[in-house]
Structure 1
Amino acid sequence: MDRYKKSKIKSRISWTIAIILAIAMAVVSITPFIFMVLNSFKEKFEMLTKGVFTLPDSFYIDNYVEVITGNFGRFFINSVIVLAVSLTLLLLVAACASYPLSRFKFKLNGPIYALIVACMSIPVHVTLIPIFKMTRSMGLYDSIWALIGPYVAMGVPISVFILTGFMKGIPKEIEESAEIDGCNKIQMFFKMILPLSKPGLSTLAIYNGVNMWNEFSFAYTLTQSAENRTLPLAVWEFRGRYSMNTPMIMAVLVLTLLPMLILFIFAQDKLIKGMTAGAVKG
């Protein structure tokens, strides 16, 4: 009986500590967003005179109007195009690479997989100068298409690592039954393996999509003109143009963050399911 009481007390203490830590983490995570939203609706000097966490005197929407009517729309379209093309290519390449690594047995399976995983340890910024020179020589410099190759290459190692572990958990009996029905390897990949890998692909789409949406270094290095730049550079440009108008910069940050925030709200269940399924099966 004493042991039962002690274990129950320990369990309550553990849950209490976990809840306190969760609340603290939520406060730390939400506070910057509340700070941005509140101050984005204030006038130029209102934040300095009234405080940063006070409600605005009136919801001043001119900040958003000025941002949207400026170059923000062009930056947004560029980001959407780069994200859509890069993410599609990345998922296709990762799936095509993960399928043989997870389902076939050949001598170079282990070394190739180890080499791909080892690429995750390469610092991204080390590749800036080589990629810049390559882009100039290919005639892609200062265009949104220059970003697609680096974005796909950056995401391949972690994507193959996760997706290979996920595909290994798919029962081989499914392939055997498909072979009996006359399916070849290509048909099996597109009709059986890819549909069953949707949770893993959804996880990779969200994870890599957020990274591509917020990427700054390659976008800054490989583009020069305003019409070819993406949203992270919009924040940088508005910061330089409105350095004394902090509410305007807050409005840019809110508009930049909003698409990914909405995506995560609607897709967080798929992200969690994909991560846990890959962890258990891999």
Structure 2
Amino acid sequence: MTRPPGAPRRRHNLPAGVAAGLWLVVVGLPLYVLVASTFQERDAYFDHGPLSLPTEPTLDNYRRVLASDFLTYLLNTALVTAGCAALVVVLAVSVGYTVVRTLNRSSQQVFRFFLLGLAIPAQAVIIPVYLLITQLHLYDSLWAIVLPTAAFALPVSVLILSGTMRDIDEELYESMTLEGAGQLRVLLRLVLPLSRAGIATVAVFSALQAWNNFLFPLILTQSRSSRVLTLGLYDYVGEFRVDIPALLAAVVLSIVPIFVVYLFARRQLVSGLMGVGGR
């Protein structure tokens, strides 16, 4: 195909291509090891190494994982994730709407109070959180994971949703007010539809925080009936051996649900982080 007269000449960027290839190897090699190892027997894995191709692929690792308490851990994790995401969305929408529509000093102080949570790591307050959970008689329950996880996801969520709601034109608020709409109707009929991207961002963010949480389940739960996936992976780590293929099979199965959620919500997630406001 001939180049049109006056068209810029295409130049091949060799350094960028080499860098992209190296980055592909860096990202793809761990994924290959993760997936390929799940189709090997434990003895074959240790004999041939993690980079070898499975000579006799098997699904025994997945069968062992599904025959264990994995489904119980998965259900607990799903309940914690759904509860945390729902709680964060409800509270973040309420606080964000109040901050945006209440133009006084107290609302701004509340907003700064929520932003203060961004500077407090969970590790720094785990002892007070533990004491508070035990005083509420919630220790070793799923609520003991949901409530602190939602609390630490709330500052970022309020920041995202308040920015999203500020992108809504002031004229839309005024027109609904002139029509006699109250605050609740404005929230339900105007703010929520135009804040879909921000709400999706908050829901996915809080769900990821709950799904991957390790510290709160480790400290605030004890029994197997309230164990989540991040702790359930320890079932494949013994005192004298580690069943690495079964452990990696459990990791793959635990990744799939949250990855599917991300695939369906990735567009809203990106739009919400960019501050589009769902429009």
TM-score (norm: length of structure 2): 0.89
State whether residues 41 and 247 of structure 1, in contact with CA within 8 Å, keep that contact through their aligned partners in structure 2: yes
Cα pair distance change 1:22/1:199, threshold 3 Å? farther
State whether residues 84 and 206 of structure 2, in contact with CA within 8 Å, keep that contact through their aligned partners in structure 1: no
Give 1:80's match in structure 2, choosing from 74, 78, 81. 78
Give the SS at the match of 1:240. coil
Cα pair distance change 1:16/1:119, threshold 3 Å? farther
Partner amino acid for 2:102? F
Which residue is 1:31 aligned to? Answer: 29
How much does 1:17 deviate? 5.4
1:214 aligns with 2:212: yes
Q: Tell me how far apart the structure 2 counterparts of residues 263 and 242 of structure 1 sit (CA, whole Å).
A: 37
Partner amino acid for 1:43? E
State whether residues 37 and 50 of structure 2, in contact with CA within 8 Å, keep that contact through their aligned partners in structure 1: yes
Give the SS at the match of 2:237. helix
Q: Larger % of helix: which?
A: 1
Which residue is 2:46 aligned to? Answer: 48
TM-score (norm: length of structure 1): 0.89
Consecutive unaligned residues of structure 2, counting only runs of 5 or more, are 1-7
Q: Tell me how far apart the structure 2 counterparts of residues 220 and 140 of structure 1 sit (CA, whole Å).
A: 14
Cα pair distance change 1:175/1:21, threshold 3 Å? farther
Which residue is 1:229 aligned to? Answer: 227
State whether residues 42 and 243 of structure 2, in contact with CA within 8 Å, keep that contact through their aligned partners in structure 1: yes
Which residue is 2:3 aligned to? Answer: none
Cα pair distance change 1:227/1:192, threshold 3 Å? same
Cα pair distance change 1:274/1:84, threshold 3 Å? same
How much does 1:20 deviate? 4.9
State whether residues 198 and 272 of structure 2, in contact with CA within 8 Å, keep that contact through their aligned partners in structure 1: yes
How much does 1:58 deviate? 2.2
Larger deviation, residues 171-180 vs 68-77: 171-180
How much does 1:43 deviate? 0.3
Partner amino acid for 2:265? A
Which residue is 1:119 aligned to? Answer: 117
Which residue is 1:200 aligned to? Answer: 198
Partner amino acid for 1:95? V
Cα pair distance change 1:136/1:272, threshold 3 Å? same
State whether residues 242 and 248 of structure 1, in contact with CA within 8 Å, keep that contact through their aligned partners in structure 2: no
Q: Tell me how far apart the structure 2 counterparts of residues 69 and 161 of structure 1 sit (CA, whole Å).
A: 43
Which residue is 1:4 aligned to? Answer: none
Cα pair distance change 1:180/1:22, threshold 3 Å? farther
State whether residues 242 and 249 of structure 1, in contact with CA within 8 Å, keep that contact through their aligned partners in structure 2: no
State whether residues 196 and 268 of structure 2, in contact with CA within 8 Å, keep that contact through their aligned partners in structure 1: no
Fraction of identical pairs, as percent: 28
Cα pair distance change 1:48/1:128, threshold 3 Å? same
Q: Tell me how far apart the structure 2 counterparts of residues 227 and 267 of structure 1 sit (CA, whole Å).
A: 31
Q: Tell me how far apart the structure 2 counterparts of residues 109 and 155 of structure 1 sit (CA, whole Å).
A: 20
Q: Paired residues, what number?
A: 272
Give 1:265's match in structure 2, choosing from 263, 266, 270. 263
